[in-house]
Chains A and B, each alone.
Chain A
Amino acid sequence: MSAFNAIGDEREVDSNEYTAGVEPQPTWCPGCGDFSVLKALKQALPEVGRNPEEVLCVTGIGCSGKLNSYLDSYGFHTIHGRSLPVARAAKLANPGLEVIAAGGDGDGYGIGGNHFIHSARENHDMTYIVFNNEVFGLTKGQTSPTSPKGHKSKTQPSGSAKDPLRPLSLGLTAGASYVARTAAVNPNQAKEILIEAMEHDGFAHIDFLTQCPTWNKDARQYVPYVDVQESDDYDFDVTDRREAAEMMYETESALYEGTVLTGRYYVDEERPSYQEEKRTVGELPDEPIAERYFDEDSEWERSYDLLERHT
């Protein structure tokens, strides 16, 4: 018998199961876009057939980091920018888990930028949601890596002299095999994209536009948005890297001019996930590492058998 009965437990899962009976009151401000991420995730998880006990939601720090406080599954609320390395290892130790990592634009693109690049490059099989509200929220409104040029804040009172980072282009360049952008104001699209991302076998990066009604009053900039797949104005092949890159460039340039494009930008179903690659070269066991510890019949290799090379 498996030590992890919750994994692969096929049954009808109700989205309410992800809401704790004794719920901690969300500390997000009224009107915050983070509520939409939580809601979309709660709706998407049952649709991919996952129950709360096989889901590990790993977050960083900030308002976004509290996602797993309000999602009743297994959770790990880590530290600034470090959700990805924790999440990656959990998935390597037990590939049966549905691993979701989440953080904010400061957390994920600033302090955690290096981990983002390398997790995408290695194409770890997981979903990474970045709550992008173009501002540091919980620390009270400082300029973030995605704040528009000229954005005024207490730490950049004359307006930011920096160009914003382009998260979609960065995700694509680094190697993510699924890159999408959605928005809190479009819950249906958000849910669909989350489902796709979780079903995708590889690193799925979702730049999730979440308005911050307190520190970024321009949050209205996210309305209206255009779905790049639904609009007749845009015609590109999401499996073509070059076309995706061009669309991303256009989108990321337009974002700060009031046009918000969302949707799937890049989907590569061909590229094997890191887990698959590592298994192919013989560096990832077929059986989850975690399983061995609960298996009394497991044969544990010992160093004594390696000593011959030293004698």
Chain B
Amino acid sequence: MSNDELIWRIAGGSGDGIDSTSQNFAKALMRSGLHVFTHRHYPSRIRGGHTYVEIRAAGHEVQSRGDGYNFLLALGDSFARNPQEDAYYGNEELKPLSENLDELREGGVIVYDEGLLTEDDVAELDLEARAEENDWYVYPVDLRGLAKEHGREVMRNTAGVGVTAALIDMDLAHIEDLMEDAMSGDVLEANLAILHEAHDMVEAEFDEVPELTVPTGEHDAAQALLSGSNAIAYGAIDAGCRFISGYPMTPWTDVFTILSQNFPDMGGVAEQVEDEIAAAALAVGASHAGAKAMSGSSGGGFALMSEPLGLAEMTETPIVLLESMRAGPSTGMPTKPEQGDLEFVLYTSQGDSARVVFAPGNVEEAYEQTRLAFEIAYDYQIPTILIYDQKLSGENTNVSVDFFDREPNPDLGSTLTEAELKEAAHDASGKFERFGYDDNEKGVSPRSIPGQAGGRYLATGNEHSPVGHISEDPDNRVFQMDRRLEKLEHIRDDLDEGETNQTYVGPDDAEYGIITWGSSQGAVFEAVSRLNDDDHSVRAVSVSDMMPFPETELTEFIEGVDEAMVVEMNATAQFRGLIQKELGRYGEKLTSLLKYNGNPFEPAEIVEGYEINVDGGEAEPSAQVRIEPAAGD
């Protein structure tokens, strides 16, 4: 077993505190100087069922969940209900142990809670034979009993963490600190006692201990453990967003919750409303009245937002919408990631409609692109959408605190003050020419806010004249249409002039290319560094600008390699289709590596996909991925 990284999986039932325990342990590992990355796997139910969180921790930077894992802490599922042996959910009590064995690496460690599993149950698994075959270390511990002795059964998580810390030779101080922050009194006392007892038990009772010493170190700067949802919420706060409206839906709800909890202290407003049509319409109304506003949902809820989205385009009302994808179609798999809504988000709404779509690939990009989404929405009076997924929403990774040390940007963009309105064009009856001929070369006509003196106009979803009167005049129609569509070209120019949103790894002169987007980035980048370490010549780009598309950059990238593989989590190669549509060629140069089983890519799957494509290896990949050949192949 490798000593340079720990991939610790804590498994149990939903409601057993798996999430909070893993969050704390990840923080403790981060505080001990390691880089961490978490991956959540959970079912769409509140209590019970098989759930796990994986924490990958290493001395080097980690960008993805890694391949498989090397340490299993299997708690009992205290919510398991198993009235009949062959009931729908099977033997749930055993699931935290039984469901996880296939992905445990050779030489891995298993700690399971004897307290909730009977010997007969475990015998079913043939654990001894499998352990021998794979050189696993197996430690049955009565975590439940230990916890009960000191307090309550639920504290068995702490016992599990104590055993883990002993087995990886980790300093308990970091865990103690976190416990002291989170609890007090008897509860704290009991937890501390359990932690130490479990820790000491390992040395006293287990003869054979694996050589699993994860390195520790020190970070150059203070670190924060954040999810993509945290980063998006914080990006919005720093962009001056002070209005959010929404309807709960997994996985978008995280951002909605974070902002709902913070806005009251910041002079902002959060509204939970009756449906997603209302949610997006509220964002439009708030923005119209002068707030920086946001709404969002996941695929099914976003479908309802298509009406207000079009309204925002036609009335040139700036809004930011979030779309956190989960597997579809329809309600699909609520708690599983997929990158299957790309085409939907790009083309939602009737008419020749234009919006800006960004797809951040990691936590830092999520923060930056949220700020950018607000800036562009308000400068250009156009809806901007952040498309991301369940994986980026929920995965936690450490980011330097300094990264967030930037000034807020509450600028309302192309909005006039009352003094400026006095100078602006008005029609004969004194109405402000809100949708007038542009004094601004970017196709943007500055707006007024209701309540401002001298700014009266009508915003309408119908085609309209410069003051907002409904108009079917052909010349006005062409003028207004061109002006709205023209914005995308200027936005493209602005984006090309600034720092690129696309992220690259690998040598500039590489022979082979990998193209990906969104949260598949981490696994792809890790695969690329492995391949290059193995003397292959690979370069990858993770694209964030979905619309307007970064034509120049992508053309250059594809021209520079012999062939390229597009990696994405969907079954119909949507992003590859977009590239070919936008660039009008390269059908013969691009292959696809697709995964859509509900689990995100692991780096090894991408390495394997590369090998099949390049070396003509096995015809079919061994993992649950699919290869889509180039046109003509």
> How far is the CB of A151 from the nearest CB of chain B, in Å?
28
In the bound complex, residues from chain B placing their C-beta under 8 Å from that of A23 are 429
In the bound complex, residues from chain A placing their C-beta under 8 Å from that of B417 are 3, 294
Closest to A289 in B: B291
Q: Is the CB of A74 within 8 A of B451?
A: yes
- Interface residue? A92 (CB, 8 A): yes
Q: Is the CB of A4 within 8 A of B451?
A: yes
A160-209: which have CB < 8 Å to B?
Answer: none
In the bound complex, residues from chain B placing their C-beta under 8 Å from that of A68 are 458
Question: Assuming A292-B267, A293-B240, is B307 touching A93 (CB within 8 A)?
Answer: no
Q: Is the CB of A97 within 8 A of B456?
A: no
Q: Is the CB of B274 within 8 A of A115?
A: yes
In the bound complex, residues from chain A placing their C-beta under 8 Å from that of B281 are 78, 82, 85-86, 89
- Interface residue? B290 (CB, 8 A): yes
In the bound complex, residues from chain B placing their C-beta under 8 Å from that of A24 are 469-470
A5 to B405, CA, bound (A): 36
Q: Which of B271, B278, B453 contacts A6 (CB 8 A)?
A: B453
Tell me the B residues contacting A by CB distance below 8 Å: 222-226, 230, 233-235, 237-238, 240, 242-243, 245, 262-271, 273-275, 277-279, 281-286, 288-293, 307-308, 310-311, 315, 401, 404-408, 410-412, 415, 417-418, 427-431, 449-462, 468-470
Tell me the A residues contacting B by CB distance below 8 Å: 3-7, 9, 20-24, 52-54, 56, 58, 66, 68-69, 72-80, 82, 84-94, 96-97, 114-115, 117-118, 278, 282-285, 287-290, 292-294, 298, 300-304, 306-307, 310-311
- Interface-centre pick from A9, A114, A117 (highest chain B CB count, 10 A): A114
Q: Which of A5, A91, A310 contacts B226 (CB 8 A)?
A: A310
> How far is the CB of B368 from the nearest CB of chain A, in Å?
12
- Give 11 new A-B contacts, CB below 8 A, not counting A72-B456, A73-B456, A307-B224: A3-B452, A21-B430, A22-B427, A75-B468, A89-B283, A91-B289, A93-B285, A114-B274, A293-B291, A294-B412, A300-B408
> How far is the CB of A236 from the nearest CB of chain B, in Å?
31
What are some 7 contacts across the A-B interface (CB < 8 A)? A86-B281, A89-B282, A89-B286, A90-B285, A94-B289, A287-B267, A306-B262
Q: Is the CB of A89 within 8 A of B410?
A: no
The number of A-B residue pairs with CB atoms under 8 Å apart is: 234
Q: Which of B285, B286, B404 contacts A304 (CB 8 A)?
A: B404
In the bound complex, residues from chain B placing their C-beta under 8 Å from that of A73 are 456
Q: Is the CB of B291 within 8 A of A85?
A: no
Q: Is the CB of B262 within 8 A of A79?
A: no
- Interface-centre pick from B240, B286, B311 (highest chain A CB count, 10 A): B286
In the bound complex, residues from chain B placing their C-beta under 8 Å from that of A56 are 289, 450-451
> How far is the CB of A272 from the nearest CB of chain B, in Å?
17
A278 to B271, CA, bound (A): 10
A290 to B457, CA, bound (A): 18
* Smallest CB-CB A-B distances: 10 pairs: A290-B290, A89-B285, A21-B429, A303-B234, A4-B451, A86-B285, A77-B460, A85-B281, A90-B289, A89-B282
In the bound complex, residues from chain B placing their C-beta under 8 Å from that of A89 are 243, 245, 271, 281-286, 289, 293
- Interface-centre pick from A21, A53, A85, A298 (highest chain B CB count, 10 A): A85
In the bound complex, residues from chain A placing their C-beta under 8 Å from that of B462 are 77
A126 to B625, CA, bound (A): 55
Q: Is the CB of A290 within 8 A of B449?
A: yes
In the bound complex, residues from chain B placing their C-beta under 8 Å from that of A4 are 449, 451-453
Q: Is the CB of B267 within 8 A of A283?
A: no
Question: Assuming A20-B431, A289-B290, A307-B404, is B459 touching A77 (CB within 8 A)?
Answer: yes
> How far is the CB of A23 from the nearest CB of chain B, in Å?
7
In the bound complex, residues from chain B placing their C-beta under 8 Å from that of A294 are 412, 417
Q: Which of B275, B288, B310, B407 contacts A90 (CB 8 A)?
A: B288
Q: Is the CB of A9 within 8 A of B284?
A: no
A275 to B222, CA, bound (A): 41
In the bound complex, residues from chain A placing their C-beta under 8 Å from that of B449 are 3-4, 94, 290
A79 to B305, CA, bound (A): 12
- Interface-centre pick from B277, B285, B462 (highest chain A CB count, 10 A): B285
In the bound complex, residues from chain B placing their C-beta under 8 Å from that of A72 are 429, 431, 456
In the bound complex, residues from chain B placing their C-beta under 8 Å from that of A22 are 427-429
A27 to B374, CA, bound (A): 38
Closest to B265 in A: A301
In the bound complex, residues from chain A placing their C-beta under 8 Å from that of B265 are 301
Closest to B307 in A: A79
Closest to A59 in B: B460
